[in-house]
Copies of this chain bind each other. A is one copy, B any other.
Amino acid sequence: MPFTVVKEIPGSESRLGRLVTRHGVVETPAFVAVATRGTVRALSSEDLESLGVQILIANTYHLFLRPGPEAIAEHGGLHRFTGWHGPWMTDSGGFQVFSLGAGKLHGVGKIASIFPGEAKPNPAGLSLVELTEEGAWIRSIFDGAKYLFSPEEVIRIERLLGADVILPLDECTSPFHDLVYTKQAMERTHRWAERALVAFERTQGLGPNPEQELWGIVQGGAYEELRRRSARTIAGLGFPGFAIGGSLGKSKEEMHRVVEWAVEELPRDKPRHLLGIGTLEDIVEAVRRGVDLFDCAAPTRLARNGSLLTFSAPGFRLNIDNARFRRDENPVDENCDCPCCRRYTRAFLHHLLRTGELSYFRLATLHNVRFMVRFMAWIRAELAAGRLPTLEPKLS
């Protein structure tokens, strides 16, 4: 059994788990670091190891464009190509189908509350995607060339990349898609899931990693009936793990309900990944509702923008660009054991950011990624002690 539930918290879906892959073990709940093009931005594989990162997720669409799956396969797959020898996931490119298509047209992300209020159609928004039953025609952001991302083609690419956990092509809907469209998209995603499973079986032996797992993706937007139906349908196809994707509604409360609906319909003995979600609050709430894995680009992107994660600052973020840090000789977080906090002061980081020094990006990213690793370890410790994690004491 690649996934084991180690301990359950009575009265909840929450649990401690272990995911065993050919390239290493992932203790869950876990944060999956985002390495879109095969590298966590500004970090090396040695950095990730020293920070205690357990697993990375790369992007099928981006790696398809550059350097191409054949180049990576010839190189022995993602693990050998990138030098990260631990577990890898690849997402399917489905989110790019969304972000380059409906997301661009609607001007929204996974949760509409990022842009509160009504849909804000982007007048300059040009969809780079055309969706058909066959698959998604995607135009390259580099040269405008058109490629068909069919469920079969995506599996072929992911076989060549060789990640340990791979995801099938899905269609993410926007929070502003109505019930009718969301249902149609969901049903097509289910048909694509079946085709992906067939393609996955048929390509056994292709690519560098003979022990890949294909997990299913639950869609259905923020419509309870659709979400539950999608979870039941995808679970019924026999995937060994699941991801919850697509629109999570228009508020945090809706997102929590979407997670609850999906988790309730999924088998308890299989891992559950919440795609693209990762604020501290969101992670805690989703863990309490039974999610095991999270990936999110926010911690690394925030670092590059000057936001450093710490429990000691309001909103858990310290904006190192602020002039008040110019002469601050404290580390970013005195409770942190990362290479940045062990050696450098807020004043120095402020200076590096203000002068645009490249070393800033790495030091800040080291801190935020280490923070996420420690945060997930704290969550696991709470669960191990039989408690559901809560941010309340951290807020005081």
* C-alpha spacing A347/B357, complex, angstroms: 26
Residues of chain A at the chain B interface (Cβ within 8 Å)? 37-46, 62, 66-67, 71, 74-76, 81-83, 304, 326-327, 329, 339, 343-345, 347-348, 350-352, 354-355, 357-359, 361-363
- Separation in Å of the A161 CB from the closest CB of chain B? 13
Bound-complex Cα distance A327 to B44 (A): 20
Give the complex CA separation of A43 and B44 in angstroms: 12
| A-B contact sample (18 more), CB < 8 A, given A39-B352, A41-B357, A43-B359 | A37-B351, A37-B355, A42-B359, A44-B339, A44-B359, A66-B351, A67-B326, A67-B347, A67-B350, A75-B348, A81-B345, A81-B348, A81-B351, A82-B348, A83-B343, A83-B348, A358-B362, A362-B362
| Chain B: minimal CB distance from A179 (Å) | 39
* A41 in contact with B359 given A81-B345, A326-B67 (CB within 8 Å): yes
Residue on B with the closest CB to A68? B326
Q: Give Cα A41–Cα B361 distance, bound, in whole angstroms.
A: 11
Q: Which residues of B contact A355 (CB under 8 A)?
A: 37, 62, 66
Choice from B67, B82, B347, B358 contacting A42 with Cβ under 8 Å:
B358
Measured between beta carbons, the chain B residues less than 8 angstroms from A67 are 326, 347, 350-351, 354
Also in contact, A44 and B345, with CB within 8 A (given A39-B352, A71-B326, A327-B71): no
Complex Cα distance, B371 from A312, in Å, reads 42
